[in-house]
Amino acid sequence: MDLLSALTVVVLGALPFFEARYAIPAAILYGFPPATAFALGMIGNLLPVVPLLLLLDAVSGWLRARSKTMDRFFSWLFERTGRHEEAIRRYGTPALFLLVALPVPATGTWSGCAAAFVFQIRFREALLAIVGGAFVAAAVTTLPLLGILTLFGGQ
């Protein structure tokens, strides 16, 4: 349970597709106490959220200004998602929460940030939905592991 192991867990938690839901069990298997594993995994998982939410719009604008292909892609993307404006206003934030909370492949905080950008969900609402969903996903994947470890005399 040294600093390098803790940093490894934080980095794993920050990686897309790995995130806290896999970093926390890895930390427990490294020997971290469950509460410490949860904290380290969540710190890593949430580190990229604010920069992603703040920078995706600027990055897409930069790409659009430098590439006709990217400009066409983003125009198509926003035109397509704009057709669902009423549904997005109604279900956007709860749907974003569920997207992040479901612990299945291709969901999580990175996907949530991308969805918030594409569907133009306001920063504060997106941040709350993504953070809440990340906590649920982490709990849903960690609690069964703790039960299994307890059952077999691990933790």
CA gap 48, 16 in Å, rounded: 9
Contacts 24+ apart (CB under 8 A), 145-153: 145/24, 145/25, 145/28, 146/28, 146/34, 149/28
pLDDT over 60 (residue 155)? no
Domain boundary assignment for the chain: 47-151
CA distance 2 to 63: 41
Model pLDDT for residues 35-77, shown as the tens digit of each residue: 999 999 999 999 999 999 999 989 989 998 999 998 888 888 7
pLDDT of residue 51: 96
Higher confidence at residue 39 or residue 151? 39
pLDDT at 1: 65
Residue-wise pLDDT for 83-136, tens only, equals 666 766 778 899 899 989 988 887 899 989 988 988 889 999 999 999 999 999
More confident residue, 83 or 2: 2
